[in-house]
């Protein structure tokens, strides 16, 4: 039997989808705009990176060609310099929304065909019924924030008052989400998680996709910084995903990063959750070293989105892409005959775009491994084709959505 590794580069989109205008994202293009910015010097940052975007291994796997197929434009410096060594194409999202659960669930064979609930961009943002219940059940003196906000900005705004009053900081965005920030030591990490579990239960009534714990540390003198102990409390997928199918068929499953959270820890096998892109990629590579025949590793690299996309940090995003690209040979080095690697994304988060939110984009699909036939797999009409192809590669019948290209 074969093995498979699926890596989601969180938010690495390659051009606005056909329905991007409905989301306010017509013209967005995460990879394309980063490449253009780097070619023009806007991606330079002393001590971090400089010059054109340099992604030789992903370019050789068809990234530039996928971008060109998606948008009609080849991004600067991403054209392959030799024959492409893998299969490449791009995926079109059919799910409602442009958030993490929608993208990942569709990749795993469950497109979101219902409307998520969202909190209005008003102050207060949350229904009084919800906040009153959260305060009562969480034994809180009250809450702070109660509005749409950037996660880093709202911590700076309310951290001192949080320490003075003991009130957690609650905020949201255009995504279907309730985020709760609190000081790891002063408020307590476990207490924050317990509060988010209460919030998860309360948010079900409003069809909110995720409640996210956002712990931070620091003092007024040193400043405040979010830690790596973020935890997402997601509503479970409404139908069986490829994780359920593989688990039921007796295949080994390893999930890395926030995959366990996204799928509500259902059929997520051995969960490994280190902090940061490098640590998550190392964990995925290590898992492949010992993965039995027929096994599946599903990894998410979140820093592209959380650290650089939302913060509209073009140099940081470019540096993160280049750092990942440098490690692609490490992935190849652990592959055995019959192994398949798929690199893709779940949505866009164009750091050159207005606002701080995700962008509705096509995603790249790059496939390589011993025995993978090079060439175009074309436009895939649903992210679910990715999950269907994983199942086909592993010899498991697909009971759900998607069409395999294998």
Comma-separated ranges of CATH 3.30.70.1250 domains in the chain: 128-233
Task: Please count the other Cβ atoms lying within 10 Å of the Cβ belonging to residue 27.
Answer: 13
pLDDT, tens digit only, all 406 positions of the chain: 699 999 999 999 999 999 999 999 999 999 999 999 999 999 999 999 999 999 999 999 999 999 999 999 999 999 999 899 999 999 999 999 899 999 999 999 999 999 999 999 999 999 999 999 999 999 999 999 999 998 989 999 999 999 999 999 999 998 899 999 999 999 999 999 999 999 999 999 999 999 999 999 999 999 999 999 999 999 999 999 999 999 999 999 999 999 999 999 999 999 999 999 999 999 999 999 999 999 999 999 999 999 999 999 999 999 999 999 999 999 999 999 999 999 999 999 999 999 889 999 999 999 999 999 999 999 999 999 999 999 999 999 999 899 999 9
Query: Under CATH, domain 4-114+238-393 is a member of which superfamily?
Result: Alkaline Phosphatase, subunit A (3.40.720.10)
- 376's enclosing H/E stretch is strand 375-380
The first and second tokens of residue 131, run together, are 């906040």
Comma-separated ranges of CATH 3.40.720.10 domains in the chain: 4-114+238-393
Per DSSP, 187 falls in state I
C-beta of residue 273 within 8 angstroms of C-beta of residue 258: yes
Coil/strand/helix, residue 120: coil
- Is 0.75 surpassed by the pTM of this model? yes
Query: Under CATH, domain 128-233 is a member of which superfamily?
Result: Phosphopentomutase (3.30.70.1250)
State how far the Cα of 387 lies from the Cα of 395, in Å rounded to an integer.
12
Torsion angle of the four alpha carbons 56, 386, 300, 27, in this order, in degrees rounded to the nearest 10: 70
Name beta bridge partners: 219: 223
């Amino acid at each position: 039997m074969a093995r498979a590794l699926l890596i989601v580069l969180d938010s690495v989109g390659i051009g606005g989808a056909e329905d991007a205008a409905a989301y306010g994202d017509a013209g967005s293009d995460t990879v394309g705009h980063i490449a253009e910015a780097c070619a023009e010097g806007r991606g330079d940052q002393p001590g971090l990176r400089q010059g054109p975007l340099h992604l030789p291994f992903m370019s050789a796997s068809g990234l530039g060609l996928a971008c060109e197929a998606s948008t009609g434009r080849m991004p600067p410096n991403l054209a392959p310099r030799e024959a492409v060594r893998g299969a490449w194409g791009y995926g079109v999202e059919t799910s409602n929304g442009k958030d993490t659960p929608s993208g990942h669930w569709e990749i795993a064979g469950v497109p979101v065909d219902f409307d998520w609930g969202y909190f209005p961009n008003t102050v207060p943002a949350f229904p009084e019924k919800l906040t009153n219940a959260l305060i009562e059940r969480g034994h809180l003196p009250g809450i702070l924030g109660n509005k749409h906000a950037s996660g880093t900005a709202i911590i700076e705004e309310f951290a001192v008052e949080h320490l003075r009053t003991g009130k957690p900081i609650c905020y949201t965005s255009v995504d279907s989400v309730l985020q709760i920030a609190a000081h790891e030591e002063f408020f307590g990490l476990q207490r924050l998680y317990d509060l988010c579990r209460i919030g998860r239960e309360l948010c079900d009534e409003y069809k909110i996709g995720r409640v996210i714990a956002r712990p931070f540390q620091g003092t007024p003198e040193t400043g405040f910084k979010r830690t790596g102990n973020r935890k997402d409390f997601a509503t479970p997928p409404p139908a069986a995903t490829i994780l359920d199918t593989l688990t039921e068929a007796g295949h080994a499953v390893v999930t890395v990063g926030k995959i366990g959270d996204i799928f509500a820890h259902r059929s997520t096998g051995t969960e490994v959750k280190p902090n940061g892109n490098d640590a998550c990629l190392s964990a995925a590579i290590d898992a492949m070293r010992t993965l039995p025949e027929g096994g599946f590793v599903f990894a998410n690299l979140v820093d592209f989105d959380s650290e650089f996309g939302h913060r509209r940090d073009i140099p940081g995003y470019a540096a993160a892409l280049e750092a990942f690209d440098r490690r692609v040979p490490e992935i190849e080095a652990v592959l055995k005959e019959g192994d398949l690697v798929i690199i893709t994304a779940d949505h866009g988060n164009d750091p050159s775009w207005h606002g701080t939110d995700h962008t509705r984009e096509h995603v790249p699909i790059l496939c390589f491994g011993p025995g993978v036939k090079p060439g175009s797999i074309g436009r895939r009409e649903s992210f679910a084709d990715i999950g269907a192809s994983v199942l086909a590669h592993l010899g498991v019948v697909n009971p759900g959505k998607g069409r395999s290209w294998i």
